[in-house]
Amino acid sequence: MTNKILITGISGFMGRNVLKQLLMNNDSVTAIIRPGTDPARIKDFENKVTLEEIDLTDISLLKKYLETNSFKIIIHLGAIRGGRKFSNNDYYNANTNATEQLAINAKRNNSKFIFCSSVGIFGAIPLELPANNFTERQDDNYYHFTKNKAEAIIQKYVLYGLNAAIIRPSITYGPGDHGFPYTLTKLIDKGLLYLPDQDIIIHIANINLIIQAIIKLMEIDFSPGVCYNIADRIPVELQDLADFINKELKGKPYSVKKRIDIKYFRYGEKIAEFFKNDLWKARLQLISRHWYYDVEASYLDLSLKKTKTIPEFKIVTDWYKSLKSKK
SS (H, E, C) 121-154: HHCCCCCCCCECCCCCCCCCCHHHHHHHHHHHHH
Mean pLDDT for the stretch of residues 138-152: 96
Cβ count near 248 (within 10 Å)? 19
Question: Class of 4-174+203-235+293-307 per CATH?
Answer: alpha beta
Specify whether the CB–CB gap between 224 and 163 falls below 8 A.
Answer: yes
The pLDDT, as a whole number, for residue 225 is 98
Specify whether the CB–CB gap between 214 and 183 falls below 8 A.
Answer: no
The pLDDT, as a whole number, for residue 108 is 98
Ranking 125-139, 161-175, 273-287 by mean pLDDT, the lowest is 273-287
pLDDT-derived band at 326, boundaries 50, 70, 90 = confident
The pLDDT, as a whole number, for residue 3 is 81
The pLDDT, as a whole number, for residue 83 is 73
Cis amide bond preceding 126, omega within 30 = no
Q: What's the whole-model pTM score?
A: 0.96
Cβ count near 276 (within 10 Å)? 7
pLDDT-derived band at 2, boundaries 50, 70, 90 = low
Flag whether pLDDT at 1 surpasses 60: no
Give me the residues paired with residue 5 across strands: 29, 73
Question: How far apart are alpha carbons 29 and 165 in whole angstroms?
Answer: 19
pLDDT-derived band at 159, boundaries 50, 70, 90 = very high
* Residue 293 vs residues 135, 208, 289, 296: alpha-carbon distances, Å: 10, 18, 14, 9
pLDDT-derived band at 217, boundaries 50, 70, 90 = very high
Q: Please give the mean pLDDT across all residues of the chain.
A: 96
